[in-house]
Amino acid sequence: MSDIRFGTDGWRAVIADQFTMENVRIVAQAIAHYTIENQQQQQGIIVGHDTRFMGRAFAQEVASVLAANGITAYLVNEPTPTPVVAFGVRHFAASGAVMITASHNPPHYNGIKYIPDYAGPATNPITIRLEQLIHQVQQKREVNRISLEEAASKRKLQYIYLRPHYEAHLRRMIRFDVLRGAALHIVVDAMHGAGIGYVSTILKENGLKVTTIRDYEDPMFGGELPEPNDKHLAELKEEIRHARADLGLANDGDADRFGVVAADGRYIPPNQVLALLARHLIKNRKQTGRIVRTVATTHLLDRIARQHGLDSVETPVGFKYVGTEMMAGDVLIGGEESGGCSIMGHIPEKDGILTNLLIAEMCAWEKKSITDILAELHGEYGEFFSTRLDLKTRGNSEWLNQIREKPPVQIGSYEVRGVDQKDGIKLQLDNEQWLLIRPSGTEPLVRIYCEAGSLEELGGLQETVSDWFRDLHDDE
């Protein structure tokens, strides 16, 4: 039996290895049991997929299993972004959604995200229960399934189109009156994913000059990883320079993450994008509320919150924790350093489409380039520089347990001012510098996040942390 487990944001596996039709049916059956167990079977479940290989076929199998269990499957009739499917859950008051996607993973992966009725990522208690039900289905080898034709004849299968409803919601979220008439030329990179046509069409409809790249379906994603980070946006940077555009915007495979590139081809890291948007919402929109970030995300957000008398909240890594805070209310913006963001009035799920449009809105509102706005941000609040080190381990976690039990009081010349074990081990150092130690759940790696107030300080911190880590392993 395959060991099917939900990670930070769903179950992902290699197609034809663990991600098979049989295992997809098992997960769908477990979701059907969960829905019935919670007496939500009358509400139906939305089933979506992105542009990955066989995404449509896997989605149809999920629909056939749900229908066989008496649950109406609302099958989205085209590749659709995860945030759009999540919005559909709220809009149609569904009991949840099943999204076939592996997000930004390599092309030979696919996966399943389960989105509960609150339209955000499934929390730990929910995924734990799903894993228990999956194991029960595997043991009993009982999966109900009917043909799509029979499901349709029994009115347990309906085809839906979510895009118009989602775009109507965006008209309430984005200041299109500000965007209209803005002298901006924007290059939009869909990275061959489910976000094709969303950002570009909306910007064009509001009078902006738009150039699109990688805007057609390709399950191999052009040979690139569909992850909108500095490494994988070379084509976007080149097109911006070629077209002499003002801004570049990108989305990952299922469009829940964002990527931003300036006119000079400079990649703007998510930490800085989140700070820019927090400032924009406060300064230009005159909005207030709590600012929520994960433990690995920049403390510049905390500084912005403090200067405006707002509360800041730190959560464990994973947007499900940010989403939980959003559901509690009064959250101005929530974000994570890996490229996830949502704002007040939106669903408690990260949305790269919304984030990209907010960046365009900000530039139109300020009538300035993103680099000029970023310089003003740093002039007002100071700078933070962040990085992540991926260091190999010997697979033995004893060293990590030792750090948990007896955290260091000194790392090189840095005095440890505070310790937080909310998620991994976070060490607060002098001058608002910090580092976070988190083991990888899939590889013999430890991820160490560092942040400092200058590039020079960051370089020194990186070198010290690397030496400390090597010495720690040599002592084992």
pLDDT (tens digit per residue) in 244-264? 999 999 999 999 999 999 999
pLDDT of residue 475: 57
| Cα–Cα dist 195/354, whole Å | 11
Strand partners, 181: none
Strand partners, 410: 415
Share of the chain above pLDDT 90, in %: 89
27-41 per-position pLDDT tens digit: 999 999 999 999 999
Confidence of residue 395 (pLDDT cuts 50, 70, 90): low
- Average pLDDT on 287-309 reads 98
Strand order through the sheet with 425-428: 385-392, 445-452, 434-439, 425-428, 418-420
**Cβ(226)–Cβ(104) below 8 Å:** yes
Mean pLDDT rounded to a whole number for the chain: 95
In 3D space, the residue among 168, 229, 163, 148 whose CA is nearest the CA of residue 196 turns out to be 163
244's tokens: 């002499």
- Torsion angle of the four alpha carbons 325, 331, 335, 340, in this order, in degrees rounded to the nearest 10: 80
- Average pLDDT on 286-312 reads 98
Same fold, 11-163 and 174-381: yes
pLDDT of residue 401: 81
Query: Helix, strand, or coil here: 475?
Result: coil
**Cβ(42)–Cβ(156) below 8 Å:** no
- Report which of residues 440 and 153 the model is more confident about: 153
Query: Helix, strand, or coil here: 194?
Result: coil
In 3D space, the residue among 121, 107, 96, 114 whose CA is nearest the CA of residue 27 turns out to be 114
**With 70 as the cut, is the pLDDT of residue 355 above it?**
yes
- Average pLDDT on 117-143 reads 96
pLDDT of residue 431: 87
DSSP state of 222: G
pLDDT of residue 1: 67
**Cβ(302)–Cβ(312) below 8 Å:** yes
**With 70 as the cut, is the pLDDT of residue 318 above it?**
yes
Location of structure tokens 């555009």 = 245
| Cα–Cα dist 464/411, whole Å | 7
- Average pLDDT on 428-442 reads 87
CA atoms within 13 A on the CB side of 130: 25
| Cα–Cα dist 473/392, whole Å | 10
pLDDT of residue 379: 97
Does domain 11-163 correspond to CATH entry 3.40.120.10? yes
- Average pLDDT on 133-141 reads 96
**With 90 as the cut, is the pLDDT of residue 341 above it?**
yes
Confidence of residue 399 (pLDDT cuts 50, 70, 90): confident
pLDDT of residue 441: 63
How many H helices and E strands in the chain? Answer: 16, 22
**With 60 as the cut, is the pLDDT of residue 308 above it?**
yes
- Average pLDDT on 418-425 reads 93
**With 80 as the cut, is the pLDDT of residue 82 above it?**
yes
| Cα–Cα dist 228/104, whole Å | 8
CA distances, 296 to each of 121, 245, 327, 387, 436 (Å)? 18, 32, 21, 10, 7
| Cα–Cα dist 196/251, whole Å | 9
Share of the chain above pLDDT 70, in %: 97
| Cα–Cα dist 436/389, whole Å | 10
Q: Measure the CA angle with vertex 351, ends 350 and 357; round to 5°.
A: 140
- Average pLDDT on 114-122 reads 98
- Average pLDDT on 219-224 reads 95
Does domain 174-381 correspond to CATH entry 3.75.10.10? no
Query: Helix, strand, or coil here: 262?
Result: strand
Confidence of residue 8 (pLDDT cuts 50, 70, 90): confident
**With 90 as the cut, is the pLDDT of residue 43 above it?**
yes
Tell me the domain boundaries of the chain. Answer: 11-163, 174-381, 385-474
- Superfamily holding 385-474: Alpha-D-phosphohexomutase, C-terminal domain (3.30.310.50)
- Average pLDDT on 89-109 reads 97
- Average pLDDT on 176-202 reads 96
169-178 per-position pLDDT tens digit: 999 999 999 9
| Cα–Cα dist 107/73, whole Å | 27
pLDDT of residue 472: 74
- Average pLDDT on 374-380 reads 98
Produce one character per residue of 213-239: b if its CB has 16 or more CB atoms within 10 Å, e if not.
Answer: bbbebebebeebbbbbbeebbebbbeb
**With 90 as the cut, is the pLDDT of residue 189 above it?**
yes
